[in-house]
Amino acid sequence: MSKRIGPSEVDLKEEIGDGSYAVVYRANYTNKIVAVKKFDGSCPTSCKKQFENEINILGKLNHQNVIKLFGFCDHRNNNFLVLEYMEGGSLLDLLVSNEKIIYPYNLIKDICNGMEYLHANSILHLDLKSPNVLLNKSKIHAKLADFGIAKISTLTTMSSSSVGTKSAKGTFRWMAPEISRGIPGMRSSDVWSFGCILIEFMTRKLPFQSLNDQQLLIVLQNEKSDLPINVEIFSKVMAGILNECLKREPSARPSFTQLNEMLSKCTQKDFDLNRNDHGTLGCSIKTITDLEKFIENVKNTTEKDKRKDKEIEELKKKLNEKEKDICSINNNLADIKKKVSDLEINKNAENYSQTRLSFYYHILSPPESPMNNFLQNRMNSPSSSFSTFDSKSKHSGRDTGYKYVSRGSANGRTIFEGTRGGFYYLTPSGNKAYVKIDQVSIF
């Protein structure tokens, strides 16, 4: 419950704003700066209902993006609200000025967060507009204000039961089409108003500024009429969100929870309206129909891009598999080459070993042969003689029938046994070349 405050407890300072039935002052209350919204004592009954409505609704709310109510005074003709003071002024003041908007994404996100909180508590604002969004001193955070015509909705109808055209007089620029036709406001009506604030961000002008109030009301009420938005689109994300909010059919608009999900996928860059190299679209959209066509083209292009991306990914996957196959083949080939090399090395080693063993075997243990038998017999019977000598040769040695193979000789030379012992073979010049017993064993 809100606290009741006496008139003497508040020290009013300068005027900082005014409306149809109320003036807003900067004031002191309990040694802190506050904003006092003072209602005209002679205001009609409807004005008093708005006063009571704000007390009733703000007294139930507590959120970082909703203005705080410290208390109220309803003493005789002193009817005022004591509210949180926002040094940055209203969003409208910032948007129509030449001042650079440092963090537009923060402000848009704060508005969306505040509205999601209201709807979660079954409260419809129904007068959401840039003058009713207040900023902190640095102008990077926003809070919702002015709940004079806000209503508590029911969960079954999700709509107000008494908000019509007259209630929203003076706010046509942010008014949803259904409200302009006298249909009670709904949650989706606030979403339309949020879309109108996005137009302000994109144009730094009031929504639908090319139309006066009367023209705008006619266009809003005629479902077939197209609304001129005249926005410069710099971001597909921003264009997509705007398109969703400005659907003629209330049920086609997203909830603030869904909008927050969309915004959560965005960055400051998507809403940076101060860049010269906007880097995305930089195209002008004149009407809501143009916006719808633009979004449809974006969707088609996106689908094509997705298909191409999918094809690219599939090709990359196949390429990766082929590279793995090639790598496996190379590894197998390297293994095979190594095995072949090892086999060749082993083969050469075995051949070399066998050759060496054979060589030493013949030297150390000559094989059984007639020559060896001959030598053995010769050694056992040194006096023995042989009957057959080569009579044709010029020497008297006995042909042993064996050959001495020397280096460079293909056929070998006949080994003879001399009459006085010893073994020799004849050189090409006819001279005797004696050999030792161990040399005989190599043939």
Higher-confidence residue: 139 or 162?
Answer: 139
Query: In terms of domains, do 113 and 262 share one?
Result: yes
What are the residue numbers of the active site? 127
Query: In terms of domains, do 101 and 119 share one?
Result: yes
Residues annotated as binding site for ATP?
A: 38
Domain harbouring 23, CATH code: 3.30.200.20
Cβ distance 422 to 435 under 8 Å?
A: no
- List the beta bridge partners of residue 232: 284
| Domain boundary, last residue among 54, 84, 114 | 84
Q: Identify which of 36-50, 152-166, 218-232, 249-263 has the greatest average pLDDT.
A: 249-263
Whether the pLDDT of residue 105 is over 80: the answer is: yes
pTM of the entire predicted model = 0.65
Query: In terms of domains, do 192 and 147 share one?
Result: yes
**Number of structural domains, the chain?**
3
| Domain boundary, last residue among 68, 84, 100 | 84
Cβ distance 87 to 38 under 8 Å?
A: no
Residue 300 domain flag: no
Query: In terms of domains, do 377 and 267 share one?
Result: no
Domain harbouring 243, CATH code: 1.10.510.10
Residue 295 domain flag: no
231-287 per-position pLDDT tens digit: 776 677 888 899 899 999 999 999 999 999 999 888 888 777 665 444 445 566 777
What is the C-alpha separation between 416 and 403, in angstroms, rounded?
A: 9
Query: In terms of domains, do 108 and 196 share one?
Result: yes
Query: In terms of domains, do 272 and 133 share one?
Result: yes
Would you state the structure tokens that stand for residue 299, as one six-digit string? 């969707």
Residue 330 domain flag: no
Query: In terms of domains, do 277 and 406 share one?
Result: no
Query: In terms of domains, do 102 and 221 share one?
Result: yes
Domain with 277 in it: 91-281
Residues annotated as binding site?
A: 38
